[in-house]
Chain A
């Protein structure tokens, strides 16, 4: 912290004496900030949540060298590395860890890999998105490095000062990190929009380097094995990044009725979400759950049908830009956060909406 203050003071003084462009301040006298991002990729591209992490990392300071770590193997990994290298000029390096053991998001080898890289790279920050991958790996790595991680950060006010929601978002807690390096953080992607991509970045592509894994295999044991992933096939936009989300609660009464919501989603080009009640009643699979313990979303338009508005659910969607609630019960708590409320039977309202809504562009 102290060095940062001095750094700022010096920089400001220089700014006032000489025009900033005349003398680029020397990097070598000050300790550089460096950030390692645990990247996630799919089908040869960085996931949007990783781009949000890049966004968050760029707020740690201007002279921050940002490295993205990608793991796995095969052509997807190489493609993702190329994508990462040319995606934004703030990314200064892409680290590729090519190993079969990293193909699947197992916490044990990943945490050991982070440990290995920290020993080599001495990063000031290690961050990832608060995805199921980040939440699984980062705290384990932090414990191995003997530092406290800070999860689900929604705002970085200044370096080492973070805001995060507690009590299902009913309070916001500002914490100052006072420990040793690295400062380890997971960020809520909906609070950090991915950086806008400037044109013609191909020329300034970041270097890609392979991580030397020769010492890695001895350290990491095969105490866990990945067996399979069962995912829901869908051509809908991903819940985490959708511009519009339509959500159903217990009020939909059956899995059959959820198809009504699917139709509406199709018309709007929206993703479908659900409350815990709807998931527990087996109307929809659990990866659609929005809430404190499910997915946290912040779309432009959130439409809740037959959702009462329990605090655990509100925690997952209260940052949506426009909230619409359709419910039979005028006293449902959801109406307290809704921008537009309609007290009506959803079985009449949804078909009417489907009929009258304009076709998506």
Chain B
């Protein structure tokens, strides 16, 4: 069985983002970019499945501008067997388009499992995995914190993080899984593996080659800073704190 993992290049999670003065978006030039943390977890899970004999090959896919190849090199250095880069140029592609591109890739690669992160930390959409699943009519296990594959019966048991606790569901393969934070601890790429990754193949594709039509049914009007909270006060004792909460904030 083959496992396909979708990875996204985003502004590094530790960077404090700045909104552009013209309100067109967030400053992304000269900002540190990394693999989306949830995608790292997705890749790690795929690698573990391969190491446990559940999969024969792990293919990493990224959709976006030329620089996505760096993210794919990271994926190869972590242990992916090969990579596919769908170059869409400098335009921003939104989840519906990404889902359609991923469907085309799945139809070509025919994996038994497609693993994605539950959300990208830049757009915070939390949509792509569900949308590919809908397009493919595959079952979905979103917000996974535990995945157990049963190769003989061709099923995956997924423990999901839901509002009220943990839910366990069972999916027939092929299926789609999106990862939550607690699924695993992603490995670091070692220097020898980074060197080895340089000789691995990154296949380039365009949306035309995949026969996917990109359309957007919404437009971003503006991006603004969130309202700033007014400066607070530092109190020196618990008594003063209780007093302020009672008599100034009136919340007690």
Contact = CB atoms under 8 A, between A and B. Distances in A.
B180 A293 contact: yes
B17 A171 contact: yes
A171 B72 CA distance: 27
Given A140-B130, A171-B17, A229-B167, A152 B220 contact: no
Contacts of B142: 107, 135-136
Contact of A356 (B26, B171, B239): B239
B101 interface: no
Contacts of B236: 342
Interface stretch (B54-62, B63-71, B83-91, B156-164): B156-164
B132 A143 contact: yes
- Majority-rule SS of A interface residues: mixed
A349 to B, nearest CB: 6
A268 B245 CA distance: 12
A178 B232 contact: no
B162 A340 contact: no
A212 interface: no
Nearest to B143: A132
Contacts of B237: 342
Contact of A144 (B121, B134, B167, B171): B134
A276 B181 contact: yes
Contacts of A357: 242, 252
Contacts of B218: 148, 150, 175-179
B226 interface: yes
19 contacts: A107-B133, A164-B124, A166-B122, A167-B121, A170-B16, A223-B138, A223-B139, A224-B140, A228-B168, A286-B166, A287-B161, A287-B165, A323-B229, A339-B232, A340-B234, A341-B233, A341-B234, A342-B238, A356-B239
Contacts of A223: 138-139, 171-172, 175
B124 A292 contact: yes
Interface residues of A, number: 91
Interface string A324-358: 10000010000101111111100001001100111
Nearest to A301: B251
A175 B170 contact: no
Nearest to A353: B238
Interface string A256-296: 00000000000010000000100110000111000011010
A229 B164 contact: yes
A83 B120 CA distance: 37
A287 B132 contact: no
Contacts of A232: 165
Q: Which 6 pairs, one residue from A and one from B, show the smallest C-beta to C-beta distance?
A: A179-B217, A231-B165, A143-B134, A143-B131, A139-B130, A140-B134
Nearest to B127: A139
B195 interface: no
Contact of A352 (B128, B131, B164, B238): B238
Given A105-B162, A173-B223, A349-B238, 7 more contacts: A174-B222, A175-B218, A175-B221, A223-B175, A301-B245, A324-B245, A342-B235
**Most chain B CB neighbours (cut-off 10 Å) among A107, A167, A226, A339:** A167
B171 A224 contact: yes
A148 B242 CA distance: 48
Interface of A: 105-108, 111, 131-133, 135-144, 146-152, 161, 164-180, 221, 223-232, 240, 244, 268, 276, 279-280, 285-287, 292-293, 295, 300-301, 311-312, 318, 321-324, 330, 335, 337-344, 349, 352-353, 356-358
A140 B145 CA distance: 20
A322 B219 contact: no
Contacts of B139: 107-108, 223-224
Contacts of B160: 132
B133 A322 contact: no
B109 interface: no
A171 B225 contact: yes
A148 B94 contact: yes
B24 to A, nearest CB: 11
Contacts of B200: none
B241 A324 contact: yes
B131 A142 contact: yes
Given A167-B26, A340-B245, A178 B224 contact: no
B17 A139 contact: no
B201 interface: no
A106 B222 CA distance: 35
A140 B134 CA distance: 5
